[in-house]
Structure 1
């Protein structure tokens, strides 16, 4: 069994228009929502083996807040630029590259890519709001074979 968590970053600030998009921080609401979502996941006894985050400041801050609540060491969060600027094919490649040793993988990134990946894998046309988590469970031992035919369950959690 493989479980994939797709996490859209928390609400980000547009206050400083001089900042590059990748440097935009979370708002206070975004920070609070990330902590709340991490707590909800921990209370559900959901564990992760790997967290991969976009290098954008808002996504990395979301990943770190959730990781703290899941007792996942922040230094083990992997950053991958495909979660910032990639499309569905890039995200599928990232998932498949991670290999079979991880049973529960969390990706923390951005829309539209995460919502498009959810549509591709689960046929769910949902625009993930900020700090939402889609949980997809697949029947199989390999990430290379995930897809609609192997999908067993989809749940979407909102902050």
Structure 2
């Protein structure tokens, strides 16, 4: 079993303010709140073996803040976590990763509605667009052994950032 922490990127520049959506950075408020959330996670004694992030600027900046606050020494970019990324492809990656890192906690940083839908699928077997992850919010799942993630994961944490600030 592995604990998976699903984290949405912090508050970013408004849509349409950048030519390409992937270039939208965190705002100053987004940086500040994300830093506060990261510090609270450290206070709660969380530590991730790896932070895997979407390639979009706002997600990478969120992951870098988490790393800078001491939540993980390792950070990697993954196209699976880009908007409309493939849960199935990520699960194939995860199963390989889990073989060499059994029981290691993992954090992924990405985007809504994908992250909420992924969590629903991992817990209930299908996405219904009902689980909304706020910016800089955290979902915690326990994923069972290899190859058993779909509809067999357990939700143990769903926290909007206001409960972590």
Q: Do Structure 1 and Structure 2 share a fold, with TM-score over 0.5?
A: yes
- CA displacement at 1:77 relative to structure 2: 0.8
Q: CA deviation at 1:15?
A: 7.4
- C-alpha root-mean-square deviation of aligned residues, in Å? 2.1
In the superposition, the TM-score normalised over structure 1's length comes to 0.85
Alpha carbons 2:18, 2:24 under 8 Å: kept: no
**Are 1:154 and 2:152 an aligned pair?**
no
For 1:131, the equivalent position in structure 2 comes to 136
Q: Aligned equivalents of 2:133 and 2:2: distance in 1?
A: 21
User: How many residues are treated as equivalent by the alignment?
Assistant: 154
Q: Runs (4+) of structure 1 moved beyond 3 Å?
A: none
Question: TM-score, normalization: structure 2?
Answer: 0.82
Closer/same/farther in 2, CA of residues 105 and 21 from structure 1, 3 Å limit:
same
- Alpha-carbon distance between aligned partners in 1 of 2:90 and 2:114, rounded to the nearest angstrom: 8
- In the TM superposition, residue 127 of structure 1 has moved relative to its aligned partner by 1.1
Q: Which runs of 5+ in 1 are unaligned?
A: none
Q: What SS class does the counterpart of residue 55 from structure 2 fall into?
A: coil
Task: Give the 5 Å matches for 1:1-150.
Answer: 1-14=1-14, 17-73=17-73, 76-85=74-83, 86-102=85-101, 103-123=104-124, 125-140=130-145, 142=146, 144-150=147-153
